[in-house]
Structure 1
Amino acid sequence: MTTSESRDEAVGSGDVDFDHHSLTFRDHPHEALAELRSRGPVLHSSAHDGFWVLTDYASVFEAAKDDARFSSAESVGIPASGMPFPILPIESDPPQTQQLRAITMTPFSPGTVKSLQPDMREIATELIDAFIERGECDLVQELTTPLPARLMLRMLGFDESTWRSWVERVHLVIHDRAHDLDAAMTAAGSLLTELGTEMERRREAAPTSDLYARIVHGSVDGVPLDDVQITMYGFLMMLGGMDTTSGLTSNSLLQLCVQPNLRQRLIDDRSLLPAATEEFLRHDTPTLGLARTVTEDATMAGQSLKAGERALLMWAGANRDPAVFENPDEIDFDRENKRHLAFGVGKHRCLGSNLAREMFKVMIDEILTRLPDFRLAGEPVRFSDAGEVHALRHLPVIFTPGPRRK
């Protein structure tokens, strides 16, 4: 990036009519991003008080790695989250970002996540047992949503039987914020209140080793986190742990329904699952993009960005950039280039990436094992807004009934 001269010239040549919270974008996000990318990698939209949209791999990668010029501290959403305090650690900048992430790094490490696989299998077995004899189910409502939610509550040390209440509020915050801010903020307030109650429980009870206890007793530079920091950190655990993995899994299951040859390959050769996981992450990225705030005047891809302006880094656009991925709209389990940006890149790379991958593989493996001939039984239903997470609300399927395991 270089110092900018004039913003007006760039905006005049780069204005686009683009709203990532629209129904049109929800229904055709990849087509929309491809069309934008064909007009230029960095363009300006007047929606939501104006923002830049970055759609190619090179621009998204550059911005994501440059925390000094593309700050996460204000809000990673467009429009801004509406929360009175930063959602930590995602809405922070280095070095605070690394210091905050260090508090929960161990629970999300590859080794710890691997040790959680029996828990994932146990929950998956229980959930599938509940519908396997029926020969029909809603895979989102009955598996891909409850499993990540229950596991996250278990990790946090919360009552996992209350998963539905947590999920309903998380969905309001993520999927309704741009269209019904009051409902989203009411749900957010309820979440924060309950997180505050759990915080006090941790302080009054004997020490525990759960994830939330780590946050409650966490510190930065020897200074304990305050109440606001603790509850906002817990808030992020809920947002990240209860929606995106279900979004990835449901998007991918839909692909296996409409492309049965892919499903058969995985049934025949389960060793393909790790490579398939990376390809589904690239092709069906649930978090389509996150925002940054420009901190100084600069030029990027010929466009003049001004300090204080907002930029939306479209991970999904980068992941289907034909300059980087050959035949990007195709799902290719044998693809050699696996350097997708589904989890972001740099200091803000998704803290829960290991956990998401493992849960995804377990759910896909269990489905292919226990209901291998699953097929669509009706129209899949998406959430009305894909601006934050592109995900299915319902995925009705039918299959040959099978026996319970327990």
Structure 2
Amino acid sequence: MTMTVDDEILRSDRLADPYSYFALLREQDPVHWNERYRSWFVHKHEDVLAALRNPAFSSDRVRPVFSDRLSEEQRAARRPTFEVLSHWMVFLDPPEHTRLRKLVQPAFSPKAVAKMRPRVEQVVRETIESLADRDSFDFVRDLAYPIPAIIVAELIGVPAEERDQFKKWSDDILTLVFGAEGQADRRELAQRGLLELTGYLRDMIAKARREPQDDIISSLVHARDVEPPLSDEEIISTCALLVFGGHETSTNLIANGIRQFLLHPAQMELLRNDRALVTTAVEEMLRFDGPSRMEARLLVEDVTLRGKHMHAGDNVLLVQSAANRDPDVFANPDTLDITRNPNPHVGFGFGVHHCLGNFLARLEAQVAYLAVLDAMPDLALAGGETWHPTMMSRGMKSMPVVRTGRR
């Protein structure tokens, strides 16, 4: 029987469990025009992958919106936000995207990330040890967030003790970049956070010019092999993106993964008994309940997909959460199976915009999963998880947990 599908993606029950809703759309209307958000939503794995390969689906969506869809008054009010986001490489197409990514990519290469393993293990161990005497805690705030926040802070050159301020700025920016609702002042909050963050980074650039260190911001300031040279605005925007993206994805991957292990104890025992499965376990968490729900694109030419005629200028959302449970690609897609291999998920995107920090996020999740399972065998969900009300990310604000052996 055909069911009526409404367009309320951010309904509270769908924030907690979006998968049945996306499955319905994938089956009944895989290329769906959502009137509520004035966007096309693409749900099939084949179509999402094709779109990620197709330059007609452009990532350069900030500048056209700013120049073509806002009034003069709106442009004046939002210009500070635009001036930062317009230089984010995730909102750029080649060759501008290529030029920026080339400079940052070496810090996140497999070889560079492999060298970080001892430090990641140390940060995970110390974070867990800091909770040793706690009968209960918030897994997101107290464990999943600090681990990647410390690592990315060190990579960029930000003192780890200042990470709480960076989390506040990042949370403010999150409400805008990932498409949140229910917060009337989200644009103002995001702009204030961006302005404060860019002011901080501008001071860091000045310091890096005087006293270069072995960190990303110094390498960008002193880059000699790019033409034209990076402007201060490009350096600031790139570092702001790394601050934001460098911990958001990993925080959600760690928290979502541990939550799924606690909901699927047989899979948790499987990993405890065979630690070598941690690699495929992370890939399965990226597929089953990954940190990215969808990626946004702007069409730069007309496209017809499954009989739907989409026009240049249309917004398109590529729904990774639906694609990653497509039964045409994955056997038993709604079953968590940490032995699944191969696993052609699109949790980190695909193509030129494939997640820059994917190797680091994988490493952090692998180390965290094993360490939590070892150190906290009595961990249990306390209930009352709350989710960020965002379109494109899949992450919790809070995940209360208890140590059942302490009761």
**TM (normalized to structure 1)?**
0.89
- CA distance change for structure 1 residues 211 and 21 in 2, over 3 Å: closer, same or farther? farther
Which range is displaced more, 71-80 or 86-95? Answer: 71-80
CA–CA separation in structure 1 for the residues paired with 2:297 and 2:209: 35
Q: Which residues in structure 2 correspond to 1:316-335 (within 5 Å)?
A: 316-335=321-340
Q: Are 1:39 and 2:25 an aligned pair?
A: no
Residue in 1 that maps onto 2:392: 388
| Deviations, residues 20-60 of structure 1 (Å, cap 9, x unaligned) | 44434312311221111112221111223x11111111111
Q: Which residues in structure 2 correspond to 1:115-194 (within 5 Å)?
A: 115-175=115-175, 178=180, 179=183, 180-194=186-200
Note the C-alpha offset of 1:238.
Answer: 1.3
CA–CA separation in structure 1 for the residues paired with 2:299 and 2:230: 28
Q: Secondary structure at the residue paired with 1:291?
A: strand
CA–CA separation in structure 1 for the residues paired with 2:64 and 2:128: 35
| Deviations, residues 166-197 of structure 1 (Å, cap 9, x unaligned) | 01221121136633222222112211221222
| Deviations, residues 272-317 of structure 1 (Å, cap 9, x unaligned) | 1111111011111111111111011121111101111110111111
- CA distance change for structure 1 residues 112 and 323 in 2, over 3 Å: closer, same or farther? same
**TM (normalized to structure 2)?**
0.88
Residue in 2 that maps onto 1:363: 368
Note the C-alpha offset of 1:214.
Answer: 2.1
Number of positions where the alignment pairs a residue of Structure 1 with one of Structure 2: 384
Q: Which amino acid in the other structure matches residue 299 of structure 1?
A: T
| Deviations, residues 301-346 of structure 1 (Å, cap 9, x unaligned) | 1110111111011111111111111111111122223111001001
Note the C-alpha offset of 1:75.
Answer: 3.5
Note the C-alpha offset of 1:209.
Answer: 2.4
| Deviations, residues 209-258 of structure 1 (Å, cap 9, x unaligned) | 21122223346742111122111111110121121111111111111111
5+ residue gaps in structure 2? Answer: 70-77
CA–CA separation in structure 2 for the residues paired with 1:191 and 1:139: 26
Residue in 1 that maps onto 2:7: 18
- CA distance change for structure 1 residues 174 and 22 in 2, over 3 Å: closer, same or farther? farther
Q: Are 1:61 and 2:32 an aligned pair?
A: no
Q: Which residues in structure 2 correspond to 1:200-279 (within 5 Å)?
A: 200-205=206-211, 207-218=212-223, 221-279=226-284
Q: Are 1:52 and 2:40 an aligned pair?
A: yes
Q: Which residues in structure 2 correspond to 1:274-285 (within 5 Å)?
A: 274-285=279-290
CA–CA separation in structure 1 for the residues paired with 2:201 and 2:355: 22
Residue in 1 that maps onto 2:294: 289
Q: Which amino acid in the other structure matches residue 233 of structure 2?
A: V
CA–CA separation in structure 1 for the residues paired with 2:306 and 2:269: 43
Which range is displaced more, 161-170 or 175-184? Answer: 175-184
Decide whether the 8 Å contact of 2:62 with 2:82 is kept in 1: no
Residue in 2 that maps onto 1:196: 202
Residue in 2 that maps onto 1:8: none
Decide whether the 8 Å contact of 2:380 with 2:404 is kept in 1: no
Larger helix percent: 2
Residue in 2 that maps onto 1:102: 102
Residue in 1 that maps onto 2:88: 88
RMSD across aligned positions (CA): 2.4
Higher relative contact order (CA 8 A, sep 6+): 1
